[in-house]
Amino acid sequence: MERLTLDVNGAFDPAAGGLARADLDALAAPARAAFDGFEARRRAGEVGFADLPADAAAAEASRALAAELGRRFENLLVLGIGGSSLGGRAVLGALCHPFHNLLPQDRRGGLRVFFPDNSDPATFAALLDTVDLERTCFATVTKSGGTAETMSQHMVLRERVVARFGEEGYRERCVLVTDPQRGVLRQIAADERLRALPLGASIGGRFSVLSPVGLLPAAAAGVDTAALLAGAAELEARCRSGAVLENPALLYAAVLHLLDVRRGRRLHVLMPYADALRDLGDWFVQLWAESLGKNPGTGPTPIRAVGATDQHSSLQLMMEGPHDKVVTLVRVAEPRAELTIPLPAGYARHPDLAYLGGHTMGELLEAERRATGAALRKNGRPTISIELPRLEPRTVGQLLMFLELATAYAGGLYGVNAFDQPGVEAGKRYAQGLLGRPGYEKYRDELLGAPAADPALVLG
């Protein structure tokens, strides 16, 4: 069976300022405790993301609804933000054609899928002016039903759709993904007779990619979601040990944790050498940051980079800046496509170009990855390597589950709850107070009562 491979040797390289095996040995008991703590919460029904691959009913409901929408429409707008958007976008970015939405219908194999994500009115207005509403459906994704950014998009789009197609046309075009029992969106589903997929109480937004949150847009775009879930199940099965050298996700969490607390490597760079994993990097940033950043002494900062693009930008800082980074290099062994580099006759006399002739672009990218890793380590920077045989649903499912489990285990190692986000909620309360939400007046008053700005520090 082809599967994800984790190699942490670059994190133990003495030349890279890496760890000693004794550091890992000393973490064996805390790592097992982190594993046991996660499993206890899982058995208690508090945390459910690792069990999603076995939820056949949710997977089938997502596929069936996607198929129904695909028979009637051409465009799917996914209205969600953060974990309600990033996971689906990551899956489509990894597994669909790089220009999926530009392909003709007979080549796409599914709907065109758009993730407006943010509530920037310029972006959302431009999207609504671009797509044909006659051929467009939309999925509103918010577990609570009260996410201001998502519901503002929903209400704007609802008004346009009802005005043009009536209430029945709205019901045909709108589906929801929300809590199965509670929340304002669940009530709206009942009041407006809308189709709704459930997002269980034990599934947090940033851990929801393998739930209907990610499966609906993936299936709508033509992704084999059964294989995606099968790969996730395979990786989860590999991680049923509390021994750090038997569980790849636990090893990854342990090494990153040790590099942080023992070596001051507080910036964790995920650098895939595949454009298709660019959006997955954004998903990882939310997963790692929102799960682990819970107090001033805890919170490694995740950074998304892409090879070889960022070799021409942020690599300079990684290579010669502060010794506070560890870089995870992600390799895809077999690229989805390959191109041989030709050598025109007039170019052969230029040594700076002639050496490229006859190689493939995949060979160039792989040489860049290997060279970057070696140069980082030689310059005192530890690295970690993840390899996927190829980008296909099964291996991408493995990678998603690997990173989710590693995040959960890291929470245990840091002694924080990886499944809440109190800091995010604080900002939301101020914003909702400013907009006049009942019961939030004290937050508005606190914000408006802040000391006046010093005009000398404002330049216009």
What are the residue numbers of the active site? 290, 312, 428
Q: What share of the chain is helix, strand, coil (3-state, %, to 5)?
A: 55, 15, 30
* Residues in contact with 297: Cβ distance below 8 Å, sequence separation at least 6, in sequence order: none
* Helical (H) or strand (E) element with 141: strand 136-141
CB 124, CB 62: distance < 8 Å: no
At residue 295, φ and ψ (nearest 5 deg) are: -160, 165
Output phi, psi for 352, to 5 deg: -70, -15
CA distances to 247, 260, 289, 354, 380 from 375, rounded to whole Å, are 29, 21, 27, 24, 9
3-class secondary-structure state, position 429: helix
**Contact of 31 with 39, CB cutoff 8 Å:** no
Three-class SS of residue 271?
A: strand
Q: Rounded distance, CA 210 to CA 67, Å?
A: 18
